[in-house]
Amino acid sequence: MTEELMLSGCIRNNATAQEALYNRFSPRMLGVCYRFAKNREDAEDMLQEGFIKVFTQIHQYRNEGALEGWIRRIVVHTCINILKKNKKFADSVDIIHATSVHVKEEMIPSIMQAKQVVECIRTLPLGYKTVLNLYAIEGYSHKEIASMLDIEESTSRSQYTRAKAMLEEILIRKKIIQKQRKRSDFYGAVSPS
């Protein structure tokens, strides 16, 4: 089913078109949710909420930009809204001096490539990983992040800086990247040291 057919079907609330659109985009969107969520179940809840919004607002899609990008923004905003309802999140994202948080080694599953990187991101404290996800992966500016999370822009920046440092440490420890900071390091295998 082409994207145009799916779109027109979804606008008419056609279940087949909706399912086709869901099947096409849900795996990647669940990957997005999983980076924000505590566990897979929460991620699926976020995905569910997100797609309900997608289908109920799909008539607002104006073919400006990729459909996936539009869906992704809705899903990300849904994730943030769900996270914001959790008091822990508000505490976590607003604490700047959270550098003492230690990541337990056993919490990082040794799974290769994308899964491994995502799992490493998920081991970060809630506030860190949210800002990192939004800034580094989703491409939001610190100003936008500050607005989304109801925090100061400077807080977003500091959270991101610390998150990145902590993630680097984890990735180095897991030998996904090397300490030597060269461009080629990120695309090559890790040399045994």
Footprint on residues 98-127 left by other proteins (CB under 8 A)? 104, 106-107, 109-119, 121
Dihedral of the CA atoms 81, 82, 85, 90 (nearest 10)?
Answer: -70
**Total length of the chain:** 193
In the three-class reduction of DSSP (H, G, I as helix; E, B as strand; rest coil), residue 18 is classed as: helix
Q: In 3D, which of 20, 158, 142, 10 has the Cα closest to residue 98?
A: 158
9, 17, 34, 130: residue in contact with other proteins (rule CB under 8 A): 34
Residues that contact other proteins, how many (by CB under 8 A): 71
Smallest gap from Cβ 18 to other proteins, in A, equals 7
Report yes or no: 103 and 163 within 8 Å, Cβ to Cβ. no
22, 36, 128, 140: residue in contact with other proteins (rule CB under 8 A): 22
> What are the tokens at 61?
């899609």
Verify binding: residue 28, other proteins, rule CB under 8 A. Answer: yes
3, 5, 11, 24: residue in contact with other proteins (rule CB under 8 A): 24
Show the CA angle centred on residue 118, arms to residues 113 and 123, nearest 5°.
130
Verify binding: residue 45, other proteins, rule CB under 8 A. Answer: yes
Using CB under 8 A as the binding rule, the residues of this chain from 51 to 90 that contact other proteins are 51-52, 55-56, 82, 85-88
Using CB under 8 A as the binding rule, the residues of this chain from 124 to 183 that contact other proteins are 132-133, 136-137, 139, 164, 167-168, 175-177, 181-183
Return d(Cα 145, Cα 73) in angstroms, integer: 13
